[in-house]
């Protein structure tokens, strides 16, 4: 875990979902692979050639913007628009086939939710986000899920983070973004004035109540 910034009086935590609220590298890889395979199928091309095209698109975007981008943005560069990406993800990604309840995660998030408003900001559709939270057994701790279909703009754009803050009724400077990828999950929130915490899966999320208590941000009384 690496803490980049914490507000003096945080009100909300905006969590990335995949590889943040669970540690399952095979499932995280599957979500990328299944979309690349679908694009290869539609194009009647080899998976290897499409994967190379996606990586080339990522490099072009990074060269133009100076930032690492998401798979969704790279595929959009190749002609897969966001509505199509949403439809593919809803059809092909099934969290319950990969994930199971995590009592330790549920306990940590429930404790955080007593003092802070929690949201998920994901590049998957909202329905996939909600199904993921239910599969992990943590849905009740979150007040809202902002999915790709809510803004039709993929992180690292600012709009998904701003929408989550508005839904929680929190000023951006009182929010903390939590995620596993600096460029996609944290760089823009930091530019917006949010706090930011880099994690390496659920094991780091287990420690967040301790982090905020140590910083004097959560009041047990």
The CATH number of the domain holding residue 192 is 3.40.50.1000
The answer to whether residue 213 scores a pLDDT higher than 90 is: no
| Structure confidence at residue 147 (pLDDT) | 97
Task: Quickly list DSSP for the chain.
Answer: -EEEE--SS--EEEE--TTTS---HHHHHHHHHHHHHHHHHHHT--HHHHHHHHHHHHHHHHHHHSS---HHHHHHHTT--HHHHHHHHHHH--GGGT----HHHHHHHHHHHTTSEEEEE-SS-HHHHHHHHHHHT-GGG-SEEE-HHHHS--TTSSHHHHHHHHHHT--GGGEEEEES-IIIIIHHHHHHT-EEEE-SSHHHHTTHHHHHHHTT-S---
| Structure confidence at residue 220 (pLDDT) | 46
Q: Do 156 and 68 reside in the same domain of the chain?
A: no
Q: Is residue 221 part of a domain?
A: no
For residue 60, what are the domain limits?
A: 26-96
Q: Is residue 58 part of a domain?
A: yes
Share of the chain above pLDDT 70, in %: 97
Q: Do 150 and 180 reside in the same domain of the chain?
A: yes
The answer to whether residue 219 scores a pLDDT higher than 60 is: no
pLDDT tens-digit map of 57-88: 989 988 888 878 888 888 888 999 999 999 99
Q: Please state the domain count of the chain.
A: 2
Q: Do 86 and 143 reside in the same domain of the chain?
A: no
**What is the pTM assigned to this prediction?**
0.91
pLDDT tens-digit map of 87-127: 999 999 999 999 999 999 999 999 999 999 999 999 999 99
Q: Do 124 and 179 reside in the same domain of the chain?
A: yes
């Amino acid at each position: 875990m690496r803490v980049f910034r914490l507000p003096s009086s945080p009100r909300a935590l905006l969590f990335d979902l995949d590889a943040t609220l669970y540690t399952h590298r095979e499932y995280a890889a599957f979500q990328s692979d299944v979309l690349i395979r679908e694009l290869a199928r539609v194009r009647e091309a080899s998976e290897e050639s499409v994967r190379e095209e996606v990586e080339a698109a990522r490099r072009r975007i990074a060269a133009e913007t100076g930032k690492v981008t998401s798979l969704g943005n790279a595929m959009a560069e190749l002609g897969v628009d966001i509505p199509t990406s949403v439809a593919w993800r809803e059809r092909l990604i099934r969290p319950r086939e990969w994930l199971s309840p995590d009592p330790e995660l549920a306990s940590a998030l429930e404790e955080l939710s007593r003092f802070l408003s929690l949201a998920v900001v994901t590049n998957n559709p909202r329905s996939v986000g909600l199904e993921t939270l239910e599969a992990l057994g943590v849905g009740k701790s979150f007040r809202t899920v902002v999915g790709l279909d809510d803004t039709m703009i993929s992180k690292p754009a600012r709009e998904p983070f701003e929408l989550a803050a508005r839904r929680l009724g929190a000023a951006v400077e009182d929010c903390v973004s939590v995620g596993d990828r600096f460029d996609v999950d944290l760089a823009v929130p930091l530019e917006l004035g949010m706090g930011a915490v880099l994690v390496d899966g659920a094991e780091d999320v287990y420690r967040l109540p301790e982090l905020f208590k140590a910083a004097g941000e959560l009041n047990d009384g």
